[in-house]
Amino acid sequence: MAHPNEDLARKGYEAFMKADMQKVSAFFADDIVWHVGGRGPLAGDYRGKDEVLGFLAKTMEMTGGTFNLEIHDMLANDDHAVALVVARGEREGRTLEDRQAHVLHIKDGKVTEYWGHPGDQYAIDEFLS
């Protein structure tokens, strides 16, 4: 039996992959903080649901809706879920395939903070620039 935070995270990723942003939003705390590393146009910290949903929408816009995440594995405990994923997308004739670790801080059944750890930050920066 999976930990409840694993179930929560898997359902959130599933909603994202179906582009159901209303469902995705329901998994986020109102004051969520979303950290995106690198030097690309999407790098930075996003605060609150509206900014995070805006970031997700911009990601889909920049990739013509091709961005997707394939879950390789998921680990969870009472405070966190860690998703090991393969991120893929296409943009302006370029393709991305990057193995990543996503760390989700979870409290009271809501994601309160996200840290993305790409396998190749330089490749992502180049892909998005």
User: For the whole model, what pTM was predicted?
Assistant: 0.93
Q: How far apart are CA 87 and CA 98, in angstroms?
A: 5
pLDDT in tens, 82-118: 999 999 999 999 999 999 999 999 999 999 999 999 9
Whether residue 87 contacts residue 67, with contact meaning beta carbons closer than 8 Å, is answered with: yes
pLDDT in tens, 21-77: 999 999 999 999 999 999 999 999 999 999 999 999 999 999 999 999 999 999 999
CATH number 3.40.190.150 is the correct assignment for the domain at 4-128: no
Identify the residue whose tokens are 């998703």. 83
User: How far, in Å, are 41, 50, 51, 87, 93 from residue 84 at the CA level?
Assistant: 24, 25, 24, 10, 26
Place 1 in a pLDDT band, splitting at 50, 70 and 90. confident
Structural domain boundaries of the chain?
4-128
Whether residue 13 contacts residue 71, with contact meaning beta carbons closer than 8 Å, is answered with: yes
